[in-house]
Amino acid sequence: MENIDWLIQGFEQAATPMNLLYAVIGVLLGTAVGVLPGIGPAMTVALLLPITYNVSPSAAFIMFAGIFYGGMYGGSTTSILLNTPGESSSVITAIEGNKMAKAGRAAQALATAAIGSFVAGTIGTALLVLFAPAVSRFAVTLGAPSYLAIMLFALVAVTAVLGSSKLRGAISLVLGLAIGIVGIDFLTGQPRATFGIPQLSDGIDIVVIAVAIFALGEALWVAAHLRRRPAQVIPVGRPWMGKDDWKRSWKPWLRGTAYGFPFGALPAGGAELPTFLSYITEKKLSKHPEEFGKGAIEGVAGPEAANNASAAGTLVPMLSLGLPTNATAAVMLTAFVSYGIQPGPTLFDKEPLLIWTLIASLFIGNFLLLVLKLLRTPRPYLYAGILFFATLGAFAVNVQPLDLALLLVFGLLGLMMRRFGLPVLPLIIGVILGPRIERQLRQSLQLGAGDWGSLFTEPVAIVTYVLMAVLLIVPLVLKLMHRDEETLLIVEDDKDQREKAQA
């Protein structure tokens, strides 16, 4: 109950007009920078960090939270409208969200993302206040073998479950893993696959890869097939969610939150995994599975909620242990330290302030109507603009032309993948998780004194491997059973034709 008292005090502190104003400014700035394609929350927070130095610490913290949520929201906006996710965690949102936008349902996609984020953020923050100590106690017990198992599970799930062709999913995954190898080996310090270029020692920036594969690859692919005749006018549709949209959204919001928060709280859990899991779950449970891949609202609602709940969950290890679990949290930690605030249990009383900032982020809804007009800009300007901002985003990371060359190389890779129907997602997952899997594997073995059996000592790890096996074997069994029917049909077909030929 002590937590609740703190919560009330937090509200009293945060709800002064001046602090609310800071929150609104933060959200506006965060959204404005976050909507730039290729700029995700982590980059937004990092870029805007200096601005918060000029105000008092508590106001700075409130403003900072506003930037964080605004940046997240801006990131999902570009995913939906331009198919350019700024961060790996909004990749999934782009899949269905962009399809919805192209089908004239951009307003509904943005609305379900916004409200889903709000619901998940509120629940997540409440969970943070109520259960943070217990959750962090559980998270701490998981060792390297469990994380290894969970990450391998993610790879298998993404490659085998999503997409129509498993061969092409695997090709995409392997290409991603290959990109992830570039850089210095973390244990022995040797450069691997760097072509002797020193700038590649730190690996290839994920922002460059994401912008190249998504924005540049898409723009080049469209350029190759652009309709020269004007296409039919995009139906604008209703500006707000209909009753059916609400009905189809609220369960994915809650399920997404349930996935997102625990994973966010896990060190190395991150937001990627729960967004995939949420997407897969919604695809399985949906009453409209045929809409998936064409713009299903569940595919936006669930992953966006998971994304935001995970962001709230991320604060658990960050505040209680001082352990950042993703790029955004790492930047936030830098900020805390620069304000002279030591992350730890004492911070929990200040945490409810985030809720108010979160509510403020809803004001942004109106601002988004401006962005909606992007869909009506002439096509040459839209795609020239995507190329321009993709270049700007990739160039601004390090201000070196080498990043632009990488952008072009991976942009051409993205073009190739679109031409030959290779799914994009496994590649991105491979780039993100590949290095982390290698690190966990080698660290687990180091801790286990080189004994491979030590990988199977933790119950969570064993359960995950069993789930993985089930995931791989069940579709095979189903296919075999299905094939029996198919072969029967073909035989019948042949008989039929033979009879006809004879006749």
Partner 1 sequence: MTTTKEPRENELAKRVDKAQYLVVAVLVAVGAFLIYNALTLETGFAKVDPVGPRFFPLVVGIAAVLLGVVLAIAIPRGSVGEADAGEDIDPESPGDWRTVGMLVGLFVAMILLVNPLGWVVMGTIFFGGAATILGSKHYVRNFVIGLALSLASFYAFYSGLGIPLPAGILDGIL
In the range 393-412, which residues lie near partner 1 by CB under 8 A?
395-396, 399, 401, 404-405, 408, 411-412
Buried b (16+ CB within 10 A) or exposed e, 291-319: bbeebbbbbbbbbbbbbbbbbbbbbbbbb
User: Residue 171 Cβ, how far from partner 1 at the closest point, in Å?
Assistant: 5
DSSP 235: P
Buried b (16+ CB within 10 A) or exposed e, 328-341: bbbbbbebbeeeeb
341 near partner 1 (CB under 8 A): no
Binding partner 1 (rule: CB under 8 A), the pick from 321, 392, 462, 467 is 392
Burial class (CB within 10 angstroms; exposed 0-12, middle 13-18, buried 19+) of 21? middle
Backbone angles phi, psi at 106, to 5 degrees: -60, -40
Binding partner 1 (rule: CB under 8 A), the pick from 201, 338, 342, 497 is 497
Q: Looking at beta carbons only, is 120 or 433 nearer to partner 1? A: 433
Report how many residues bind partner 1 under the rule CB under 8 A.
Answer: 76
User: Residue 439 Cβ, how far from partner 1 at the closest point, in Å?
Assistant: 10
Helices marked H in 373-458: 379-398, 401-419, 425-447
Bridge partner residues of 184 (DSSP): 191
Q: In this chain, which stretch among 8-16, 121-129, 166-174, 277-285 interacts with partner 1, using CB under 8 A?
A: 166-174
372 near partner 1 (CB under 8 A): no
Binding partner 1 (rule: CB under 8 A), the pick from 1, 2, 50, 340 is 50
User: Residue 60 Cβ, how far from partner 1 at the closest point, in Å?
Assistant: 17
Bridge partner residues of 192 (DSSP): 183
User: Residue 419 Cβ, how far from partner 1 at the closest point, in Å?
Assistant: 6
Q: How far apart are the first and last CA of the chain?
A: 86
Binding partner 1 (rule: CB under 8 A), the pick from 333, 445, 460, 467 is 445
To which residue do tokens 């619901």 refer? Answer: 119
User: Residue 370 Cβ, how far from partner 1 at the closest point, in Å?
Assistant: 16
State which of positions 319-338 bind partner 1 (CB under 8 A).
none
Q: In this chain, which stretch among 13-21, 87-95, 135-143, 384-392 interacts with partner 1, using CB under 8 A?
A: 384-392
Q: Looking at beta carbons only, is 223 or 341 nearer to partner 1? A: 223
Contact between 304 and 117 under an 8 Å Cβ cutoff? The reply is: yes
Buried b (16+ CB within 10 A) or exposed e, 203-225: bbebbbbbbbbbbbbbbbbbeee
53 near partner 1 (CB under 8 A): no
Binding mask 425-444 for partner 1 (x = CB under 8 A): ---------x---x--xx--
Chain center to CA of 37: 14
User: Residue 424 Cβ, how far from partner 1 at the closest point, in Å?
Assistant: 9
- Angle made by CA atoms 303, 116, 83, in degrees to the nearest 5: 50
User: Residue 450 Cβ, how far from partner 1 at the closest point, in Å?
Assistant: 4
User: Residue 232 Cβ, how far from partner 1 at the closest point, in Å?
Assistant: 9
Binding mask 146-165 for partner 1 (x = CB under 8 A): ------------------xx
The span from the CA of 119 to the CA of 115, in Å, is: 6
Bridge partner residues of 183 (DSSP): 192
The span from the CA of 435 to the CA of 186, in Å, is: 9
- Measured CA to CA in angstroms, residue 364 lies from 69, 71, 315, 371 at distances of 11, 11, 23, 11
State which of positions 97-116 bind partner 1 (CB under 8 A).
102-103
| Other C-beta atoms lying within 10 Å of the C-beta of residue 456 | 13
449 near partner 1 (CB under 8 A): yes
User: Residue 18 Cβ, how far from partner 1 at the closest point, in Å?
Assistant: 23
Q: Looking at beta carbons only, is 20 or 234 nearer to partner 1? A: 234
State which of positions 267-306 bind partner 1 (CB under 8 A).
none
Contact between 367 and 356 under an 8 Å Cβ cutoff? The reply is: no
Q: Looking at beta carbons only, is 329 or 390 nearer to partner 1? A: 390
Which tokens is 16 given? 């002064």
Bridge partner residues of 296 (DSSP): none
The span from the CA of 335 to the CA of 45, in Å, is: 9
Binding mask 15-44 for partner 1 (x = CB under 8 A): ------------------x-----------
| Other C-beta atoms lying within 10 Å of the C-beta of residue 452 | 10
Q: Return the SS3 of 183.
A: strand
379 near partner 1 (CB under 8 A): yes
State which of positions 172-231 bind partner 1 (CB under 8 A).
174-175, 177-178, 181, 185, 187-188, 190, 192-193, 219-228, 231
Which tokens is 170 given? 């695997």
Q: Looking at beta carbons only, is 103 or 156 nearer to partner 1? A: 103
420 near partner 1 (CB under 8 A): yes
User: Residue 345 Cβ, how far from partner 1 at the closest point, in Å?
Assistant: 34
Q: Looking at beta carbons only, is 449 or 480 nearer to partner 1? A: 449
State which of positions 452-481 bind partner 1 (CB under 8 A).
452
126 near partner 1 (CB under 8 A): no
To which residue do tokens 């298998």 refer? Answer: 156
